Amino acid sequence: MIFGTTLLTFVHVAISLVGLGSGLGVMYGLLAAKRSESWTATFLVSTVLTSATGFLFPFERFLPSHALSILSLLVLAVAIFAKYARHLAGAWRQAYVATAVTALYFNFFVLVVQLFQKVPVLKAMAPTQSEAPFLLTQVILLVTFAVAGVAAAIKNRDQTVRVG
């Protein structure tokens, strides 16, 4: 099982990194009102896979990570529906922007959690993740995504988004 868990961890982290990178590409596109279909598809698929593969790790009880994965999958379902079933028509454009930004925020939230758990200098600064350095980092992250999300929503209000 050690090899299986190690392999699963590697695959899960690799998919997560693809989701983070492609999500930044999607965010850039939202802020520039210029969509990239390949970045979008890569982000949505990898982020769904990241959330889903998290449930494959052995666990004995329901954890906060499971709750966040469920929330992420629900948010992603709306983003995928808005994008591919409703083609970003009308209010679905704003629903897509809000859910895509939220899904990316969830990915970065987990990245910060993992960094504070795994990087020795960060773990020393916030061993229980209730200390000021961890909390401040998460607040800065939340504010950054809130501001970016509002800017993206404003930028994507009309229907003149370029595809490129």
Residue range of the domain that includes 20: 2-163
Of the two residues 162 and 54, the one the predictor is more confident about is 54
Would you state the pLDDT for residue 3?
A: 55
Percent of the chain with pLDDT over 90: 81
Q: From CA 34, how far away is CA 156, in angstroms rounded?
A: 9
Model pTM above 0.85: yes
pLDDT band of 162, cuts 50, 70, 90 = low
Do the Cβ atoms of 66 and 137 come closer than 8 Å? Answer: no
Q: How many domains does the chain have?
A: 1
pLDDT band of 114, cuts 50, 70, 90 = very high
9-46 confidence digits (pLDDT tens): 999 999 999 999 999 999 999 999 888 999 999 999 99
At 25 the three-state DSSP class reads helix
What's the mean per-residue pLDDT of the chain?
93
Q: What is the DSSP string of 76-129?
A: HHHHHIIIIISTT-THHHHHHHHHHHHHHHHHHHHHHHHHHHHSHHHHHH-TTS
pLDDT band of 49, cuts 50, 70, 90 = very high
